């Protein structure tokens, strides 16, 4: 099991809260997203695969095949719209 | 050396920022700056293409504290490597803003104008699709999160950076 510090921003924060610490068997960013989706509402809707969701691992933009590590910080959020 | 990146709720002073950027640097012959402002209307998008115009009463900007600063610092490092520039400065506001208010400043100094113009545009294109900010618009119909634009990904791709935002 790996402990991951999950954060959510923007519309995902409104749906899921600011974040949570979670023990997971997921090995990658994408596997953790699927694990959350499998929990059902409200995760399944907020993180559903048809929706564009981006991730940052330890505060760097990340692809879904990136491996998780003990105590890592993983953020999920919609496409960015600054500037 | 003063800070290169500042995230703040308060407004900024373009003249003061530009003066600080080039203060005492006798090599500087060009400064290019870009200021993004809040418009009173926004294009409602479907699959990244405009379908209608809506009225905007205010804008709420959220960011990812910590990552935002790191991401923009990395963008400035990339600009310094890619262009023959001397310095760059980014100020981005967060929180509540009203139409006509300033949102973002990018300023770059160099010996000649070409490199400053290019680096300023590069930094804005990069920031638009890779810095963790999110805009929420308040309209007469209610509040809504702004959609990302496909054209912003295309703008970044011009620089040879294939980093999507979808």
Which residue shows structure tokens 């999507």? B164
What would the pLDDT profile of B94-110 be if each residue is shown by its tens digit?
A: 999 999 999 999 999 99
Nearest CB to A59 within list B67, B129, B136: B67
Contact B134 A9 (CB under 8 A): yes
Token pair for B133: 């900010």
Residue B88 φ/ψ, nearest 5 degrees: -145, 150
Give B122-156 pLDDT, tens digit per residue. Answer: 999 999 999 999 999 999 889 999 988 888 988 99
pLDDT per residue over B22-34, tens digit each? 999 999 999 999 9
**ipTM score of the complex?**
0.96
Tell me the pTM: 0.94
- Residues of chain A with Cβ-Cβ distance to B6 below 8 Å are none
Of B127, B131, B132, the CB nearest to A9: B132
Between CA B73 and CA B4 the distance in angstroms is 7
Work out the average pLDDT over A26-37: 98
Set out the domains of chain A in order of their start, with CATH numbers.
2-77 (3.10.20.30)
What domains, with CATH codes, occur in chain B?
5-153 (3.90.1170.40)
Q: Is B82 left (phi over 0), alpha (psi -120 to 50) or beta?
A: alpha
């Amino acid at each position: 099991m790996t402990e991951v510090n999950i954060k959510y921003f923007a519309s995902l924060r409104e749906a899921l809260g600011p974040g949570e610490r979670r023990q997971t068997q997921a090995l990658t960013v994408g596997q953790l997203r699927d694990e959350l989706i499998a929990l059902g509402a409200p995760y399944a809707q907020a993180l559903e695969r048809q929706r564009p969701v981006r991730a940052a691992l330890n505060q760097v933009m990340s692809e879904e095949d990136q491996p998780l590590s003990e105590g890592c910080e993983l953020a999920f959020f919609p496409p960015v719209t600054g500037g | 050396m003063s800070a290169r990146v500042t995230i703040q709720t308060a407004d900024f002073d373009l003249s003061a920022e530009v003066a600080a950027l080039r203060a005492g640097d006798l090599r500087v012959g060009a400064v290019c700056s870009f200021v993004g402002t809040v418009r009173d209307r926004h294009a409602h998008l479907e699959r990244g293409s405009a379908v209608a115009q809506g009225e905007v009463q205010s804008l709420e900007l959220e960011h990812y504290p910590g990552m935002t600063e790191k991401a923009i610092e990395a963008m400035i490092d990339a600009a310094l490597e890619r262009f023959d520039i001397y310095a760059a400065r980014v100020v981005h506001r967060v929180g509540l803003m009203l139409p006509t208010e300033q949102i973002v400043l990018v300023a770059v100094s160099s010996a000649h104008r070409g490199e400053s113009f290019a680096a300023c545009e590069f930094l804005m294109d990069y920031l638009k699709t890779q810095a963790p900010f999110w805009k929420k618009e308040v309209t007469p119909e209610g509040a809504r999160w702004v959609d990302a634009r496909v054209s912003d990904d295309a703008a970044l791709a011009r620089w040879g950076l294939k980093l999507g935002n979808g």
